[in-house]
Amino acid sequence: MTKPLEAPQDGTVSALLEENRIFKPSDSFRSKALLQDERIYKEAEANRENFWSDQAKKLDWYQPWDKILEWKTPFAKWFLNGKLNASYNCLDRHMKTDRKNKTAIIWEGEPGEVRKLTYEDLYHETNKFANVLKSLGVRKGDRIAIYMPMIPEAAMAMLASARIGAIHTVVFGGFSPESLKDRINDAGAKLLITADGGWRRGKIIGLKDLSDEAVKACPTIENILVVKRLEDQDTQMKDGRDHWYHDLKEKVADYCEPEQMDSEDILFTLYTSGTTGKPKGIIHTTGGYMTGVTTTMKLVFDLQEDDVFWCTADVGWVTGHSYIVYGPMANGVTQIMYEGAPDWPKRDRFWSIIEKYGVTKFYTAPTAIRAFMKWGHQWPQKHDLSSLRLLGSVGEPINPEAWIWYHKHIGSEQCPIVDTWWQTETGCILITPLPGITDLKPGSATRPFPGIEAKVFKEDGTVIKEGGGYLGLTSPWPSMLRGIWGDEERYKQQYWSKWPNIYFTGDGAKIDADGYYWLLGRVDDVINIAGHRLGTMEVESALVDHTSVAESAVVGISDEIKGTAIAAFVILKDGHTAGDEMDKTLKQHVVKKIGAIARPSKIIFTEDLPKTRSGKIMRRLLRDIAEGRALGDVTTLADASILESLKEKYQEE
C-alpha cells in the first residue's frame, strides 16, 4: 500500500528541491582516483551481466560458475554452480599477500581500551571461532542468532558462521528481548551468540541478561555462546546451555577448513521492518552478495591500500554487514571499529578517533551529521582532521544544509561526499556518486551505480524522465535479496506486485533535468527514525498490546535531528485515564516491546480516529494534524467532525 504522492512538505524535501549547487571532484582527488572517467558506466551499460561477472572474478572461487544469471521474475540466481566461501574471501586469501600483516581492525571500546588485530590475527581467531561453533553442533544450513556489542568478536562470529556454511541472523543490540525472541523463533536458530555486555554512553548494556529473557520462549535454542567483554560483570551461566567462548576456544583446533558454498547458498538473513506488524527476514546468498559489496566498497569509497576506513554503523544493521564486515574485509581494508556513543565522554569522540588513527574515509548517517551540526563546529575544530579524503552518508535523505556543514566542517571543503542510497534488500549501495567522476549536488544520491538500472515511475507504471514519482529497479543485480525467510508470498507481494517485472523500493524519488536522482523518503507505512527503519504497524501493535489501549495509529513527523520521529494517536479502553502517567507507561511499553529506537516522541490521546467509510485509518490526515498543516482531501472521511477535536487536542499538547 502506498500513500498518494503529495507535494513534498517537510523541511528536508522542500530544501532538496531548491538545491542547485554543484561540487566537482578536485583535480587532486581525481588524479589519484581509481576511476576518473565515465567509461565504466558505458561498459556496464553495454552488457550488465558481463560487467558483474568481471567483478565476480575478483573474488576467489573454488569452482567457476557456468551461467552468470538466471532470471525468472522475481527469482534471480547469479553465478550458477559457482562455489566459494565468504570467510575465505575476507581472510584466507590475504594470508598469501602482504595484507597478512596489515591491520584489519583498530577497535576502541567506549571506556577507551584499544585492540589492534591484523588480518592474520583475525584469520586465526575466526578459525577457532568456527571450530567452537562446530563443537556446539552447528552445521551447514543451521541458523545462528548473533546479539552482540560492537566488538571484534561480532565480526568473527559472522565470519565463522560463513566459514562453516551456517546462516547468521544478527540482531541489533539495542533491540528488546521480545524483538530478539521473535527473530530467533522466525529463523529457527539453534545457537545464540552474545556477550556479557557492552558499553553505551557510560552504562553497561547487559546483553546476556537480555538474552536469557529472550530465550525463555525460544524452543529451538540449544546453546548460548557468551563472549566476555566486561570485567567484574556477574554473569549467570546456565549449566549445559551456556558456554564461555574463551573456555571453548582452548579446546578446539587452530584451523577450520572453509565449507565450499554454492553461489546461491544463503549467507545470512537480516530482519527489517515492513508494512505489517512483523519484521521480515531478508535473505542474502553468497556469490551475488559478495560480488555486490566487494565491488561497491572498492569503487564508491575509492579504496587505496593505505586507507583507514571508518563506517560508524552497528553490525546489527545491513550497513554493518556490508561495509564493516564483508565489503572492507574482502578488500583487505584497515578499519576502525568503535563500540560506543559519539558524545561519550564528550561531543568530540568521533573527531578524536579520526585524528588519533588518521582515518581517511568516513561513512556515517545524516542523523549523526545533524546532531554534530547542532553541537557546533567547535568540537571538530579541536582536532586535526586533515587525514580525511572522502566522506560518506547513508540511511536517509541528507538535507543540503547538513551536507554543506559536513563538507565544510568535517571535510574542509576538500573531500567528496558520497551520498549512498540502498536498502537491507539491495545488499549493497545502488545509487551513489563515484567520487573521482561525479559532480555532486548536495542532497542528491546522483546516479545508479554501473550495472544497476533504476527508474522513476508514476503510480500507473509509466516511466518519468524528469519529475517526481516512485523509485523502481528494472533489472536484477547480484546482491539483491533472494526472498523473505519462510514467506515467499510476502516477497512477491511486497516487492513485485506494484508493476510487472519491476522491484518496488518503497521510496519516492525525483529525477532532475541532468538525470540526477533525489531520494524523497518512504511512501509506504514504513518510517525512518534516525536512519533506522520501523513499520508504523509494529509500533501500533506494541501499543495495543498494552492492556489499557483500545486502538492506535502511528505516523512519522519531521524531527530536526532524527529526520523522522514517531507520533502515536491512542484511544484508551474505558476506565483508563489519559495523562502524563499513561504517556510515560505507554512509551516505556513500546521500548520494552521493540527497543529504544521505537520510543514515540509524542502520544496524543483521543476518543476517535479519522477513518474512511470502509474503516481504514487515514494516516495522511493524522500526519497533517501532527505537523500542523492544512488538511488534505477529507471527502472520503466517514465523520469529519473528529478532525476538529483532534486538531484541538494536538495543539493543546
Q: Which residues contact 514 (CB under 8 A, 6 or more apart)?
A: none
Closest to ligand WT7 by CB, 481 or 553: 481
Q: Enumerate binding residues for ligand WT7 (CB under 6 A).
A: 272, 318-319, 394-397, 419-424, 445, 505-507, 519, 521-522, 528, 533
Cα separation, 588 vs 567, in Å, equals 14
Phi, psi of 106 (to 5 degrees): -105, 110
In sequence order, what are the beta bridge partners of 556? 566
- Bridge-based pairing of strands 242-244 and 223-227 is parallel
Minimum CB separation from ligand WT7 for residue 160, in Å?
24
DSSP state of 632: -
Kind plus residue range of the DSSP H or E element containing 444: none
Cβ at position 525, least distance to ligand WT7 in Å: 13
Q: Give least dist CB 224 to ligand WT7, A.
A: 27
| DSSP code of residue 597 | G
Name which of 371 and 445 has its Cβ closer to ligand WT7.
445
Please choose, from the candidates 287, 327, 292, 326, the residue with its C-alpha nearest in 3D space to the C-alpha of residue 77.
287
> Nearest CA to 511 among 16, 44, 25, 37?
16
User: Which CB, 256 or 511, lies closer to ligand WT7?
Assistant: 511
Q: Which residues contact 472 (CB under 8 A, 6 or more apart)?
A: 454, 455, 456, 457, 498, 499, 502, 503, 504, 505
Q: How far is the CB of 510 from ligand WT7 (least distance, A)?
A: 12
User: What CA–CA distance (Å, rounded) separates 308 from 497?
Assistant: 43
- The answer to whether the Cα torsion of 623, 626, 629, 631 is positive or negative is positive
Which residue lies nearer to ligand WT7 by CB, 165 or 173? 173
Strands 602-605 and 242-244: unpaired
**Residue with Cβ nearer ligand WT7 (347 or 533):** 533
Q: Which is nearer to ligand WT7, 82 or 366 (CB)?
A: 366
**Helical (H) or strand (E) element with 618:** none
| 555, three cell numbers | 505516523
Choose among 144, 149, 102: nearest CA to 123.
Answer: 102
**Between 517 and 605, whose beta carbon lies closer to ligand WT7?**
517
Residues 6+ apart with CB under 8 A from 626: 555, 557, 567, 602, 604, 650
Residue holding cell 559472522? 158
Is the Cβ of residue 76 or residue 311 nearer to ligand WT7 in the bound state?
311
Give me the least distance between CB of 549 and ligand WT7, in Å please. 27
Q: Which is nearer to ligand WT7, 69 or 311 (CB)?
A: 311
CB of 528 to ligand WT7, least distance (A): 5
Residue type, 41: Y
Compute the least distance from the CB of residue 522 to ligand WT7, in Å. Answer: 5
Q: Which is nearer to ligand WT7, 245 or 405 (CB)?
A: 405
CB of residue 370 to ligand WT7, shortest distance in Å? 14
- Shortest Å, Cβ 429 to ligand WT7: 8
Shortest Cβ 96–ligand WT7 spacing (Å):
32
